[in-house]
């Protein structure tokens, strides 16, 4: 149990180090939060109208944390695409100039209007795979993507690196197609 706690603490330390020390992962300098005097509507309805995430988003993602290195099934520096529709979200990566859908199972999401979380949990009878994709608005046509995928496979021996592992990717996605929310009515 203490080994797992140490691993989690090391992972969190790695994340904090990436955010604090590497300017390429920071979008802009933090700005002061609005106050009541600014008279800004920050209601959930307003935020949803402020930014419509519907559309196709593409970008390159780099591995921030990948313990299996080049043996990972998730290509470092590969082009990724997320299609955000009214009823469905699809995730792809590009391989040999073709888009490959990486998950056929349903994706679950919640959109706040300025950010979005996409998640998935699969149980394969001996293994469990968890996904969390966090999208943060960076203007109308760009979003930052943090993509965490973790897998535990109890059918593989404990000393095998594929028994339990995770990969964290970061990339900036650009909107390549803009879909309107009216299409969802």
**pLDDT tens for each residue of 102-139:** 877 778 888 876 788 999 988 888 889 899 999 998 87
User: pLDDT for 42-69, tens place per residue?
Assistant: 666 666 566 678 889 999 998 887 766 6
Rounded-to-integer distance, Cα 46 and Cα 42, Å: 6
Q: Give a yes or no: residue 29 inside a domain.
A: no
Rounded-to-integer distance, Cα 100 and Cα 91, Å: 8
Indicate the pairing of strand 142-153 with strand 164-178.
antiparallel
CATH of the domain at 58: 2.40.128
Q: Give a yes or no: residue 19 inside a domain.
A: no
| Domain count within the chain | 1
Residue 145, strand partner residues: 135, 171
Q: Give a yes or no: residue 185 inside a domain.
A: no
Predicted local distance difference test score (pLDDT) of residue 139: 74
Give the predicted TM-score (pTM) of the model.
Answer: 0.69
Q: Give a yes or no: residue 143 inside a domain.
A: yes
Residue 113, strand partner residues: none
Q: Give a yes or no: residue 139 inside a domain.
A: yes
Residue range(s) defining the domain that contains residue 103: 45-179
Q: Give a yes or no: residue 163 inside a domain.
A: yes
Sequence-distant (6+) residues with CB within 8 A of 72 are: 63, 66, 167
């Amino acid at each position: 149990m203490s080994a797992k706690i140490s691993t989690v603490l090391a992972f969190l330390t790695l994340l904090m180090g990436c955010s604090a020390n590497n300017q390429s992962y920071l979008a802009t300098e933090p700005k002061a939060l609005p106050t009541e005097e600014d008279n800004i509507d920050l209601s959930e309805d307003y935020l949803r109208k402020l930014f419509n995430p519907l559309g196709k988003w593409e970008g390159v993602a780099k591995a921030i944390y990948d313990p299996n290195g080049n043996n990972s099934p998730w290509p470092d520096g590969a082009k990724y695409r997320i299609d955000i529709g009214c009823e469905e979200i699809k995730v792809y990566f590009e391989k040999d100039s073709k888009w490959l859908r990486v998950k056929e199972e349903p994706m679950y999401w919640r959109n706040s209007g300025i950010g979005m979380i996409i998640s998935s949990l699969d149980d394969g009878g001996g293994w469990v795979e968890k996904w969390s994709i966090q999208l943060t608005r960076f203007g109308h046509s760009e979003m930052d993507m943090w993509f965490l995928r973790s897998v535990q496979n109890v059918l593989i021996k404990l000393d095998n690196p594929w028994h339990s592992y995770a990969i964290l990717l970061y990339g900036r996605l650009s909107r390549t197609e803009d879909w309107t929310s009216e299409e969802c009515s």
